[in-house]
Structures are given as structure tokens and as C-alpha cells.
Structure 1
Amino acid sequence: MMIGQLAASTGLSVRTLRFYADAGVLPAQGRTTSGYRLFGPDAVARARLIRTLRELGVGLDDIRRVLGAEASLTEVAAEHVRALDAQIRVLRLQRAVLRAFIGSTDPEELRRMTDLTNLTAAQRRQIVDDYLDAVFGDSPSVVADKLAMGAPELPDDPTPDQVAAWVEIAKLLRDPDFVATSRRMAERARAEGPEPDVAQFEVGKAVGELASPAARAGVDPASPDALAIVERLEALGPTPSEDRTCIADRIEAFTDRRVGRYWTLVGIINGWTPNQAPDDIIDTWEWYARALRAHP
């Protein structure tokens, strides 16, 4: 059949059929004496398959492989699905970045968001690992293990809040001052020896139950009410081996709002539902430290 007949049978334009023929995916079987292309009986099915694959976004090179029996249609379809999945992930990230940027007027912020979200999952994880190496080195640490296990995992289809949280985390983990503060905390934890016993964990739980309401209510740490809370907490644990000022020093050494902020951001990215806001926890321990200092 001639190209006009093929066009009528397939619904494709003559120009499109010529393009397929020139690209080598729809070869003619010969030409008329006038030089017009002639197509064989399989050309209709072949042209319809090409049209379908093109509508699905499959490139001419892959179509040529299928029609040349270099690859099966299933193999090419699977490859194309993987490529589409990758494109979809990129588009979702781009959409989330743009939504997160709406309301900002700083072009540098948009560039930073784009750069950080375009990293692969392995590259994003490397930012966390670099921080852990800088803080803990090769020394074994329960805290390092907790940070590694709870590392943020940006999903394939993040929300604008998750994108913003990831950008803030990356900035925090690369902040030399935060790294230095974290290293001092880790060194002090190693110097103080083994993990506290079960009684100490019970005291920590009680601090939340007793000191938290006082902190929220604005109770003066120097007041008799605050002293009563301190004494109740001391009665729950072993006999203190150091004075209250030393205990307050330790609490303050391990209390940093940026650490609390880090876990808030990780929770946003990983979709955790916090039992208590980190800032509330820090408020409680800061209040308790002030109460200890006020009643040495």
C-alpha cells in the first residue's frame, strides 16, 4: 500500500509516517516507479504499535530495539516504567520545593532548597554520617547509634514542610558551632562513664511529671514550692554523690535547644507523632537546673 492508504488505515498523518520511515522504525518495502514508498501488509500493525509507544513516551531508539527483536516489548516497558518513576520523583521534589519557597523573596533560599533536595538519598545520608563522624569519631556511643537509627529519610513525595525541614537539618548539621557543641556533649558523656542505672531513668521520668507543670505554670525556681519538687525528685533516686550545683552543671551541659530542634525536624520528615514537644522538654530541664542552683 502507498503512504496515503497507510495513513487512512492508521489515523496517522502522512507527515508522521514519513518521519517514522525516515527514522528507520517503519521501513518501506519498496517504491513505485514514481518514487513513492510502498508498505507491506504488516505496516498497519507496526505503525499502530509505534504510535502507542510514542504516546507512552517511549523513545525511537527503544522502539527500534523492539521492532528489531533486540529487546522484548516487556523489557522496554519495564525500563520505561523505571525511567518514569525517576522522573516522577524529580517532579514531586520540584513541586514540593516550589511550594515550600512560596512566600519567600530570597532567591538564594530557592537555590539552597533545590541543591539539597536534588541530592540522592545516599548523599543526604552522607550529611548525617559526616556529622556523626565529626562528633563521635570511631568511639562507640549509644547517642550516635540513636542518631544513626533515627536519621531523616526524605520521602519520594515530600510535603513542603518536609522539604523545609530537610533544608534546615542540613544547615544545622553543617554548622561548625553546632558540631563543636555536640562534640563537647559527646566528650563529657564519655568522660562520665557508663550509662546511668534504672533508678536514674525513673528520676528523669519524674522530672517530666513534676517539674514540667511547674515550668509551664511559671513557678519561681527559687521558691519553696520549687524546693519541694527538688526534694521529692531526690527522694526517688539514689543518695546524690554530688551537690545540686554539679547536677545543674550536667543538665545544662546536655541541654541545647538546637538538639531539640533537630529531633523536631526529623519527626516532621519521618512522619513521627511526638509525645511531647522538644522545647517543652528543654523548658522543663532548664527550670529544674535553675531550681537546683537556687537551693544548693
Structure 2
Amino acid sequence: MSTDGLWSIGELAERAGTTVKTVRYYSDRGLLPEAVRSSGGHRRYGPEALDRLVLIRSLRSLGLPVPDVERVLDRDEALEEVVSGRLRELGGQLAALRWREASLRLVRDAPAGERSERLRLVGAVPLPPDTTALARFWRRVLPARLPGRVVTAVLDSVVPTAPAEPTPAQVLAFARLHDLVSGRRLDEAEVRAARPLPDGEYRPDVLYEGLAEAYEAAWDAVRAGRGPADAGVLDGFVAAYAHALGVHDTPAFRRRLTGLLAAREGPLIVRYWKLADALFAPDEPVLGVLHHQLSTALRAEVRERTA
């Protein structure tokens, strides 16, 4: 430091452990305060410039781009906002890396005859993976004029979250599921077959709300070790359909309902739930599985009564 207590640009760079070019760059952007200019027009810096330069380098070491550093320097309270945004960005990058690693393992370990197909499937999935295509599929399947709150609840229940740390098997299941709903054009007959009842014959809002209660009761029964075939649970499942169709729950209706349910178990929806099952967490209910178990229990009950 000279007798005036100030540093040249080279001296500041040396004290900060950086280069003159870096100091000049930040100075030109107005991030480093200059105390004065020498008689020859050279920049002179005081201790506050060193403190500011150390802060800038710390922020840059965290991966913050220069515009974000400028925001933090202009407004101290912006630091939390900027760091939170950077964490979200890194979270997405890490998720993409984990999926890419699992995808590479999937292709590496595939039988030779399946590698091309697996490459095609995983190559069609965006990274990090998102469930936009799955939600779009269900929005098409769901009946028109269904209340928004019901649509949101259904989507939350039927669209699995992409695992944060997937196994190769989960990557394959997700890729196949993504391909199922977006890899080809679904015709209207397939979409209608995926709906719970024929269009125009029931009240969709009543059915979906009733089924939500029935599935919740079935999941509680599963966790309690009773299984979804519990009599009270099955009664609630049947009641949801009866109320939606505007009829009473009678033995005749239960026989009719077994036929209606069997007709809705098309290959598209069955395939969806087989693939999705691998993507839900162990503590999450898989509605397609619960529905199948309840339908199976109903058929068994009807057969027993008929016999």
C-alpha cells in the first residue's frame, strides 16, 4: 500500500489472489469502488474494494452468475432469493444427472437385442424428466366439465412423481409410460375405454369424489393388514358407482357393475397402471392397483352369491 493508503489495480489483484484482468472486469461493471484516479489516470483502490472483491469471488465460487452477483451487491436481501434460485437450478441439474446415469446403466446392461429399443425410449424422455405428457393424457381421459378441484385431485393421485434417484428399472418403466401416452396418437375409442363408465350415463363429479373416498378406505385397509376386499370398503366402492348412476346398491346392480368394470379394463389403462406401479413410493397408494383389487373382490362376491 502506498503512502496514501491506496492500492494500484495490480496490488489489489495480488492481495485478493486474482488477476488484474479480473479486477478490471469487475471495475468496468461498476462492482468495485474506486477511491480515486491517479494523476496519470490509473485506478486506485482502498480496503473497501478488497472486501468487495473477496465477497464477489465468494459468490462466484458458489456458481452465481455475474448478474445475480450484481443483484446481491445492490440489495443485501436479494442473497436469499438468489441462492434459493440457484439451489432449484442445481436440483434440476442433479436430477438430470441421476437419470442420465441410470439410463446409461439401463442401456449398458440391456440384452443386445433390446438396446436399440431402450435407446429410443430413454432418448424421448426430457431431462430432468417431467410428467407433462402423463398429465395431458389424463386430462384427455377425464370427463368434460369435471370441476377443477376434482381434476387436480385426480391428477395428484394418478400421475406418479419421477423418482429423484431412479433405478434403471424405474427409468425403463417411466420411459415406457411416457411412450405409451405420447409416443403415438391415441384414438378416441382408446380414450373412451379408459374412462370409468360410458359417457353420458353417470355424474362424473359424484363418481370421482365417491371413488376417492373408496380408494382412501381401501388403502387404510391395506395398511391395517385387512386388504381392500374388506366388506365395508367394498360397499363404499359399489356405492360410488350406484350414486353416480342414480340407482340403488342391489345384488342385481352388483352383477351389472361387474360387467361395466370388466368392459373398462382395456389394454391401455391396464398397461398404464402396470408401468406406473414401479414409480410410486412404497407409502403411496397406487389407485389402479386398488381399483383392480376392489373389482376382483366384487366379482368374487357376485360369483359366490350366484352359486
Q: Same fold (TM over 0.5)?
A: yes
3-state SS of 2:164 partner: coil
Q: 1:150 aligns with which of 142, 157, 161?
A: 157
Q: Provide the rounded CA distance (Å) in 2 between the counterparts of 1:139 and 1:53.
A: 49
2:55 pairs with 1:49: yes
Q: Which residue is 2:36 aligned to?
A: 30
Q: Which residue is 2:139 aligned to?
A: 129
Amino acid at match of 1:46: R
Within a 5 Å distance, the mapping from 1:193-208 to structure 2 comes to 205=229
After superposition, the Cα gap between the structure-2 partners of 1:130 and 1:34, relative to the gap in structure 1 and judged at 3 Å, is: same
2:59 pairs with 1:82: no
Q: Post-superposition shift, 1:240?
A: 6.1
Q: Which residue is 1:187 aligned to?
A: 198
Within a 5 Å distance, the mapping from 1:1-296 to structure 2 comes to 1-67=7-73, 70-72=74-76, 74-97=77-100, 99-100=102-103, 102-103=106-107, 104-106=115-117, 108-114=120-126, 118-119=129-130, 124-132=134-142, 136-138=143-145, 147-148=154-155, 150-155=157-162, 157-160=164-167, 161-173=169-181, 175-176=186-187, 178-183=190-195, 186-187=197-198, 190=201, 205=229, 252-272=262-282
Whichever of the two has the greater Rg, that structure is 1
Q: Provide the rounded CA distance (Å) in 2 between the counterparts of 1:248 and 1:47.
A: 74
Contact 2:9/2:44, CA 8 A, preserved across alignment: yes
Contact 1:131/1:173, CA 8 A, preserved across alignment: no
Q: Post-superposition shift, 1:155?
A: 4.2
TM-score (norm 2): 0.58
Q: Post-superposition shift, 1:52?
A: 0.7
Q: Provide the rounded CA distance (Å) in 1 between the counterparts of 2:190 and 2:165.
A: 26
Deviates more, 1:99-108 or 1:23-32: 99-108
Q: Provide the rounded CA distance (Å) in 1 between the counterparts of 2:194 and 2:156.
A: 17
Contact 2:99/2:171, CA 8 A, preserved across alignment: yes
Gaps of 5+ in 2: 1-6, 108-114, 208-213, 219-227, 231-249
Q: Provide the rounded CA distance (Å) in 1 between the counterparts of 2:28 and 2:174.
A: 49
Amino acid at match of 1:112: A
Amino acid at match of 1:169: L
After superposition, the Cα gap between the structure-2 partners of 1:248 and 1:264, relative to the gap in structure 1 and judged at 3 Å, is: closer
After superposition, the Cα gap between the structure-2 partners of 1:178 and 1:159, relative to the gap in structure 1 and judged at 3 Å, is: farther
Q: Report the RMSD for the aligned CA atoms in angstroms.
A: 4.7
Q: Which residue is 2:3 aligned to?
A: none
Contact 2:8/2:44, CA 8 A, preserved across alignment: yes
Deviations 1:43-73 (Å, cap 9, x if unpaired)? 1211111111111122222333343xx311x
3-state SS of 1:268 partner: coil
Identity across matched positions, percent: 22
3-state SS of 1:167 partner: helix
Q: Post-superposition shift, 1:13?
A: 2.5
Q: Which residue is 2:222 aligned to?
A: none
Amino acid at match of 1:50: I
3-state SS of 1:38 partner: strand
After superposition, the Cα gap between the structure-2 partners of 1:186 and 1:15, relative to the gap in structure 1 and judged at 3 Å, is: same
Amino acid at match of 1:260: V
Counting matched residue pairs gives 244
Q: Post-superposition shift, 1:158?
A: 4.7
Q: Provide the rounded CA distance (Å) in 1 between the counterparts of 2:17 and 2:45.
A: 15
After superposition, the Cα gap between the structure-2 partners of 1:66 and 1:114, relative to the gap in structure 1 and judged at 3 Å, is: closer
